[in-house]
């Protein structure tokens, strides 16, 4: 009999090539698998709630794994403690808990929320976690573009080309820019995201805010379903996965 467990974790993506295991690359999934396999003394392969681009951070990330042995609540807490003592400081395990076999880290997730941070003051102490942008932007116009995303469903124009996804349909339920001191923070929530989608959206909304394109141009870009029409993707280090929503773990 196999037992399924969820892991709640967070990571600074600076030194990782994303979550997904890749050949000849340092990834979060690889590190987690190796640590769990060593601690549990059996081969463990964790499935993540999604893949993240190289350099992207996660304040909240979930994965699940299955093993032959049952772990008590107390043993799960002890495992969390031992893993955090073993892992580097850029990766933390918050919790490990048992779930029913039908609960899947990726497919059971109902929504994911990302934030992108832009700083308008050059600051070496936050340069790994925000994108420096100099010059004025029209925040009201950028929010007009963000709100328009809620009425759209096909985000091909913001997707990395030649991906393995079967559809580029996503349901965006929240998208908004807010000022936070010297920072501009873009928050977006959707049922799913395409590869590079958030960074491409942010880059295109920045073009809108700098008046490089008009609002009509922005709508035309989405309608074109052509990645070449959209703006450049902003750097990965300003992007954070901050929340993953599940219906019920029981």
Looking at the DSSP bridge assignments, the partners of residue 180 are 183
Q: Which residues contact 97 (CB under 8 A, 6 or more apart)?
A: 5, 6, 73, 76, 249
Pair of tokens at residue 58: 């996660």
At 165 the pLDDT is 75
Query: Pairing mode, if any, of strands 111-119 and 131-132?
Result: parallel
User: Please, which pLDDT band fits residue 160 given cuts at 50, 70 and 90?
Assistant: confident
Distance from C-alpha of 136 to C-alpha of 209, rounded to nearest angstrom: 8
Could you tell me which residues are beta bridge partners of residue 153?
Answer: none
Active-site hit among 53, 90, 229, 248: 53
Residue 249's pLDDT band (cuts 50, 70, 90): low
The string of pLDDT tens digits covering residues 5-53 is 999 999 999 999 999 999 889 999 999 999 999 999 999 999 999 989 9
Q: What pLDDT, on the 0 to 100 scale, is given for residue 166? A: 81
d(CA 1, CA 46): 17
**Residue with token string 């993540």:** 48
Determine the Cα–Cα distance for residues 177 and 139; give it in Å rounded to an integer: 7
Q: For residue 207, what are the contacts with CB-CB under 8 A and spacing of at least 6?
A: 213, 231
Would residue 53 show up in a list of annotated catalytic residues for this protein?
yes
The distance in angstroms from the start CA to the end CA of the chain is 18
Q: Of the candidates 208, 200, 198, which has an alpha carbon nearest to the alpha carbon of residue 138?
A: 208
What residue ranges define each of the domains in the chain, with the CATH number in brackets?
Answer: 3-99 (3.30.70.580), 111-245 (3.30.70.660)
């Amino acid at each position: 009999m196999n037992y399924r467990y969820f892991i709640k974790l967070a990571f600074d993506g600076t030194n990782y090539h994303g979550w997904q295991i890749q050949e000849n690359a340092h990834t979060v999934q690889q590190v987690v698998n190796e640590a769990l396999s060593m601690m549990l003394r059996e081969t463990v392969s964790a499935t993540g709630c999604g893949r993240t681009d190289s350099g992207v951070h996660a304040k909240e990330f979930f994965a699940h794994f299955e093993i032959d042995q049952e772990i008590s609540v107390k043993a799960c807490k002890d495992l969390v403690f031992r893993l955090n003592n073993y892992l580097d400081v850029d990766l933390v395990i918050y919790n490990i808990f048992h779930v029913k076999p039908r609960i899947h880290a990726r497919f059971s997730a109902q929504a994911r929320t990302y934030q992108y941070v832009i700083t308008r003051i050059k600051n070496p102490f936050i340069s790994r976690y925000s994108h420096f942008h100099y010059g004025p932007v029209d925040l009201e116009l950028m929010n007009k573009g963000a709100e328009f995303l809620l009425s759209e469903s096909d985000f091909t124009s913001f997707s990395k080309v030649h991906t393995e996804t079967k559809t580029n349909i996503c349901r965006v339920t929240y998208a908004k820019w807010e000022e936070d001191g010297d920072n501009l923070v873009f928050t977006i929530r959707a049922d799913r995201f395409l590869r590079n989608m958030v960074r491409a959206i942010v880059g295109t909304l920045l073009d809108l805010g700098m008046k490089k394109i008009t609002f009509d141009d922005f709508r035309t870009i989405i309608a074109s379903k052509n990645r070449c029409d959209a703006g450049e993707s902003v750097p990965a280090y300003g992007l954070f996965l901050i929340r993953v929503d599940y219906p019920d773990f029981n």
